[in-house]
A and B are shown apart, each in its own frame.
Chain A
Amino acid sequence: MISRLAMTMILMSGNGFPAQPASNEYDVKAAFLVNFASFVEWPEGSFQKPDDPILICVLGRDPFGRALDDVAAGKSISGRPIALRKLADPRNASGCRILFIHSLERKKTTPLSRVLPEQGVLTVGEEDGPSPESMIVNFTIEKGRVRFSVNLDIAEREKLQLSSRLLGLASSVRKQAK
């Protein structure tokens, strides 16, 4: 209930695209979250139909307010629309292709990968959130700007292909030497 309220508050204060650091942080993160869909290839069978939506889920506290809805509205990636869902329990994350976990949901997500009902979910967390090492993408703040790091080992485990261009933008990429 509290998270819902906060989210509403944030959304009320949000305005436009969060391109500048001065913008609301979560406006930027919302846009990033949607844009990640463009640079990820999900394993086969992740979608039944070519026009199945890409489902973006927010686990626990929703910091975006209306920002995520605004970004996703009317947007389609490779012919697929964007759908949003809020979750309280990771076990209900079935069908989610991108899962955002707010930093305050740390306790609920340990260990998240074990909790998730299926493979092929791009997990996105925050650096001060629960076990950032277990997230594929982690938002960071550098010099007041939103950046992100990538853990390729997890992405491989989850059988996700990340565009090199995405990787080129990541502030750091973790990958175990084999």
Chain B
Amino acid sequence: MGAYKNRSIRFRLLLLIILNSGMALALAGIALFAYESIEQRRVAARELSAEAGIVSANSTAALSFADEKAAAETLAALGGDAHLVGAIIFDRKDRVFARYGRISGMSPSKSNAGEEGVHFEDGSLTVSQQIRFGGERIGTIVLRSTSDIQARLRRYIGILFLVLSLSLGLALALSSRTQRSITNPITALSAIARSISVDRNYGVRANVAAAGEIGILIDSFNDMLSQIEAREESLRESQERYALASRGANDGLWDWKIPANKIYFSPRWFEMLGSAPGDPMAPKGGSDPDEWFKRIHPNDLNRVQSEIERHRIGQVSELVIEYRMRHRDSGYIWILTRGMAVRDAAGVAVRMAGSQTDITEGKVGDALTGLPNRLYLVDKLESALDEAKRPDQTFALLFLDLDRFKLVNDSLGHACGDELLTGVAGRLRSCVRGGERAAGRTRQAIVARLGGDEFAILLNGIHEEADATVVAQRVVAELEAPFSIGGRQVFATASIGIAMSSTGQTAEEILRNADTAMYHAKAKGKARFQVFDEGMRERAVARLEIETGLRKAIGTQLVLYYQPEISIVTKKVIGYEALVRWDHPERGILPPSEFIPVAEESDLIVQLGRWVLREACMQMARWNHIEDLETPLSVSVNVAPRQLNDPEFADDVERILADTGLDPACLNLEMTEGSIMVNPEMTLATLRRLKQLNVGLEIDDFGTGYSSLSYLQKLPFDTVKVDRSFVKELESGTESVEIVRTIVDLARSLGMQVVAEGVETGEQLSKLAELGCNFGQGFYFSKPVSSQTTLALIRERSEMRRAFGKLESSAQETETADEIFAPELAAIELP
């Protein structure tokens, strides 16, 4: 059966046809033979019976007269029948009467001679027939013939066999032809399939013409081949691409058979880690995974292993991880490992393979300046911290932040900013080299760029703060000279924070300390340095506390104070500047300087500013509504740079005005030059929208910024607020007088009004009046007071005016500012 199964389909079909038609023909043959055999016997019996009848009739007389001779003669006449074996006539007493031929062993009893009948026996036919005469049995005739039935049947079988064989042959020939139309395409197809599986050449196609299902089979086969070919091609391409790419990228490859826990590492994988090409690297059957893990930096090992595990169990779709590995010669290098697991049907990872790339250069280097980056510095800081446990291996970290770098970037463009950074990097490098030479001893110093305009210098072997400040001084001095960028002279000073190795346990801690010190240096002014001390940390902590506290305080603990703005000409209060105070539950009323800088470092300032704006608008709208004022009072609100640069700011203002019902003309928004210069294009659009709302716009702290006055005319401002530093010096210096005069003249020519803030004396006031300043604000008139006090003052003046009528009001105009504001000064609440 097995042999049959292995035979070709053609053989099997042929066998089937032979079996089927052979069976049918054999059955037909047997039926024909059986019929013929029966018929032959019947005919033979009839013939012999007829013969017996004739003999019987002819022997009646002989029997009647016992003439045996005559009977024998009658029987002899049977000699013409060649098949006759013999004949016997028995008399009425069943005794042999006459005999012919070779008939023997026949007795009446044995052959049943007394009865009539036909018997076939051993190829002979025996017929017994009674001889009757005159209605009386007078004897029996028995004839026996070698029935030629056997021979005839043999002949018949021969012919039958011949015919059947011919039919079978014909059937075979015909079916062979028809089956070939079926098997030929299949045979051809299977031959092609075999040749494809041997040669792996998926380019061949089955060129077999066939219709019906086989045609469909062939077409599908060809389609399948096309798909396999396309897939094969794309697989080959992708393999080549990968091989090329990994060779080009100098990647090491690894392939982890997870059940066996063996990893194949490519030679390049080992070379990357410093193994010489001749070293025995990859043992047969793969390496132990420990070859990999034992080289991983102890701090990274857990992370790498858990990341591999996460990918193995399918939590992440791809293994991508950067970490450090020990190089045989040069310490740790940064490695990027990518990997992908192959999973079985149950989703269990059975294999994981991927690449390993040395990313040390990109990882620890800064592409712009060529300096090491933060990662590298942290790495070195960690090493230095390890070594700093010995007393002679202490170090110092200098944290540098360029002053007003953002301004350069924004005004001159990023390309110039980048150029400046590169220039600064170069000078820092030269500082350190110079330092080494000057010190005359080997001291390892690393200059790194931390990002943006931040740099750091790690000074190894520094024991005294003084040694570090020497370097800091040299850096400050080095940066004093301007940089020539894009044909311009650009100044780039830096604020420097210094932290000694003793101030922290970790790299991040040291960095943060140096950063904190840098902030302090910057707060003291530009181009300075500051050494970190514990007090700074405390202040930093305090600042953090302020930030968290402030987050909760907005809307609950913040309150508004108001400082009036006085018309210098009419001596009347025209409005108030809203100033925010924090009613701290433990520390009492805090001035803005305590918390606004903290808020400005985060987005808190936007939230805070929005609250101030809403609160101020709401209060002023209420006051203007409930008090029957001669002219509505205006309120000035400060807008922080982040607020102004919030794209939704104008929408906020519009919504708040609508919500509070304050007349937009009663709102003045104050902003500094600096905040406008952050993003001039967008700010201009915002200002124009605000102007359309009919909101008053005011430049705050005018004169302190460094932007050109000409820019002012492009902006839709109504008012310029002269910085208090100029007002303060009005009495002493002529320079300030000239500055204020210029500002006033310029404002007037641009159709703007001028407010002077920080007016503290009558002299300052008269000088301002002389210069043509429109409005004044300051302690000379009133300190900022609470909203309750403000409301009380507004009411008081309102009642006074109603009580004294017109007469009083004309008298008021002649009053001095002192007289008007005396009651208010008395009521000032101290912060």
Contacts and interface: CB of A to CB of B under 8 A. Distances in A.
Interface string B57-74: 010111011110010000
A75 B134 CA distance: 9
A131 interface: no
Nearest to A34: B64
SS class, residues of chain A in contact with chain B: mixed
Given A19-B95, A38-B134, A169-B61, 15 more contacts: A17-B92, A18-B66, A19-B66, A19-B91, A19-B93, A32-B65, A35-B64, A38-B133, A39-B61, A145-B66, A147-B67, A163-B61, A165-B60, A168-B70, A169-B70
Given A19-B66, A28-B66, A75-B136, A166 B93 contact: no
A19 B139 CA distance: 13
Interface string B117-144: 0000000000000000111100000000
Contacts of B91: 19
B135 A38 contact: no
Interface in A150-178: 163, 165-166, 168-169
A48 interface: no
A123 to B, nearest CB: 17
Contacts of B65: 32, 35, 148, 166, 169
Interface in A36-93: 38-39, 75-78
A168 B58 CA distance: 11
A46 to B, nearest CB: 18
Interface string B141-174: 0000000000000000000000000000000000
Contacts of A166: 61, 65
A165 B91 CA distance: 18
Given A17-B93, A19-B91, A163-B61, A169 B67 contact: yes
Nearest to B95: A19
Nearest to A21: B66
Nearest to A171: B67
A165 B61 contact: yes
Interface residues of A, number: 22
Contact of A168 (B61, B134, B135): B61
Interface residues of B, number: 17
Nearest to A163: B61
Given A17-B93, A19-B91, A169 B134 contact: no
Nearest to B62: A169
A17 B136 CA distance: 15
A38 B66 contact: no
Contacts of B134: 38, 76-78
Contacts of A38: 64, 133-134
A18 B93 CA distance: 12
Leading 10 A-B pairs by shortest Cβ distance? A165-B61, A35-B64, A19-B66, A169-B67, A169-B65, A77-B134, A169-B70, A169-B61, A38-B134, A32-B65
Nearest to B135: A76
Contacts of A163: 61
Interface in A115-160: 145-148
A148 B134 CA distance: 21
Nearest to B73: A168
A146 B93 CA distance: 19
Contacts of B95: 19
A28 B68 CA distance: 14
Contacts of B66: 18-19, 28, 31, 145-146
A129 B66 CA distance: 23
B803 to A, nearest CB: 187
Interface string A20-34: 000000001001100
6 contacts: A32-B64, A76-B135, A165-B61, A166-B61, A169-B65, A169-B70
Contacts of B64: 32, 35, 38-39
A60 B134 CA distance: 30
A31 B64 CA distance: 8
Contacts of A18: 66
Contacts of B93: 17, 19
Nearest to A17: B93
A75 B95 CA distance: 21
Q: Most chain-A Cβ atoms within 10 A of its Cβ — which of B58, B61, B95?
A: B61
A75 B61 CA distance: 17
A51 B76 CA distance: 38
A41 B530 CA distance: 180
A168 B93 CA distance: 24
A38 to B, nearest CB: 6
Contacts of B58: 165
A167 to B, nearest CB: 9
A96 B473 CA distance: 193
